[in-house]
Amino acid sequence: MSADRSNWPAILGGQPAVTLDQTEANRWPLLTEEDEQAVLGILKDGHLSIHPVAKELESDYAKLTGMEYALSHNNGTAALLAAFFALDLKPGDEVIVPSATFWASVLPMIWVGAVPVFCESEPERLGLDPVDIERKITSRTRAIVLVHLWGLPSKMTEIIEVAKKHNLKIIEDASHAHGAVWRDRPCGSLGDITVFSLQGDKLAPAGEGGIFLCREYEYYERAVLLGDISRIIELETPARRFAATSFGIKTRIAPLSAALARIQLKRLEEHNQKRNQNLIYLSEELENFGFHTFLPPPHIKRVYFEFVIRFNPDRIPLPMPSLLKALQSEGCHISMPRYPLIHQQPFFTEGHFRSILRLPPEISPPNYSAENLEATCQGNRSLIKLPSFPNSGKELLDQYIEAFKKVFVHAEAIMNSAPEIEEPADTNPFSDA
Ligand SMILES: Cc1ncc(COP(=O)(O)O)c(C=O)c1O
């Protein structure tokens, strides 16, 4: 009896399950005439460098988060540098950070002399592990950087408790979490200082842009002093005396970007709803296949900067490289997530950080070794990234589900016939998103 080959896996010569075009389904950002008009409005004004739109954007973000002060920046990296500068960290002060994040959550602090101390990420929400935070605290620890990775709010109850107990400041990197909510509080309102990136892939993109937010005037003032020469003169404190120099860099946002950012922020809820509708539908199906999809507990409203799921070897009938390859053959855009772990990068492991972080001789930096953070390394190897389908209809999602079904049903045949499949390269470290 010949086997039914109509639903045969593409990796074994069958037809791919995913046939619909994916370009429009994954188009991002979603721009309309309103975006064009906003940008054109600035061009017509002709004020391309300093324009009221920057303050309007700041006020939008202050409203979104309930934070008192906001300062727009040319990117999130600059806003993070401002956050470290604002805390007035001294050489050798330690800041506890995740390794599982984009580099910009960590590296800018080195320019103000602060020492990153890498901490494990917990497996449930992929944020800082509160238990490991506490283990990493020393007499020099001053602050924590937390990241709501992929749009999933971190374990704030425990993190806030540890921070309070040890008198640590929280820098909240909310770059993946525009619109996410934790216990009725918006992400972006949970730190002493919060930063959003508005880079082009983000949920409310400006092309390039960043927002710095805080409640303390003193932090705002230091951020202005660092990077916004034209605002220093507006300060009503003795800090105005620095109006001729600033503290050495210039990081204000371009009005064209700010104009775009305002429109994208206005449409954030609508855009997030579309992603959530698509990805919750897909998640519920993928949970049945044995994947962990990071559906949030009821006290959290998560968003999806990216759609990352966890491979469970006990429930999935193929090793991860074979699964990825088989699904890719079906036409699925599926891969390992793209952030390499920061603590394993040559900047730290080969000691290059020392040329910027000029620590006093009596202070030695931590032992940065690629072997550290065993739990994070292990957890990271089991993550898989799928598209976030920001503009997709249900038909394409159903084709993805069909692709998974087909690969699972024929797992044994795939294992028996497919050529040896290599471990995929860890991640693509060369993206700035
Ligand atoms: C978590 C996180 N923090 C910070 C940044 C830096 O922002 P930017 O690219 O706007 O400098 C990014 C990404 O771009 C990010 O993903």
Give me the domains of the chain, ranges plus CATH numbers: 33-267 (3.40.640.10)
Mean pLDDT across the chain: 95
Q: What is the CA radius of gyration of the chain?
A: 23
Please determine, for residue 430, whether its predicted confidence score (pLDDT) is greater than 50: no
Ligand 1 within 6 A of CB of 172 = no
56 lines ligand 1 (CB under 6 A): no
Q: How far is the CA of 146 from the centre of ligand 1 (A)?
A: 13
> CA of 393: how far to CAs of 22, 25, 138, 255, 305, in Å?
10, 7, 51, 34, 18
**Pairing mode, strands 94-98 and 115-119:** parallel
Residue 419: pLDDT band by 50, 70, 90 thresholds?
low
Task: Quote the ligand 1 centre to 208 CA distance (angstroms).
Answer: 10
When pLDDT is cut at 50, 70 and 90, the band that residue 337 belongs to is: confident
Q: Atom of ligand 1 at shortest distance to CA of 101?
A: 1
State if residue 210 touches ligand 1 by the CB under 6 angstroms criterion.
yes
Predicted pLDDT at 346: 97
Considering only CA atoms, which residue is closest to atom 7 of ligand 1? 76
pLDDT in tens, 229-244: 999 999 999 999 999 9
**Among 136-150, 273-287, 317-331, 410-424, where is mean pLDDT lowest?**
410-424
Cβ(251) – ligand 1 distance below 6 Å: no
Å from CA of 197 to ligand 1 middle: 5
- What is the average pLDDT across 112-122? 98
CA of 33 to the centre of ligand 1 (A): 27
Instruction: Give the pLDDT mean for 365-394.
Output: 96
* Predicted structure pTM score: 0.95
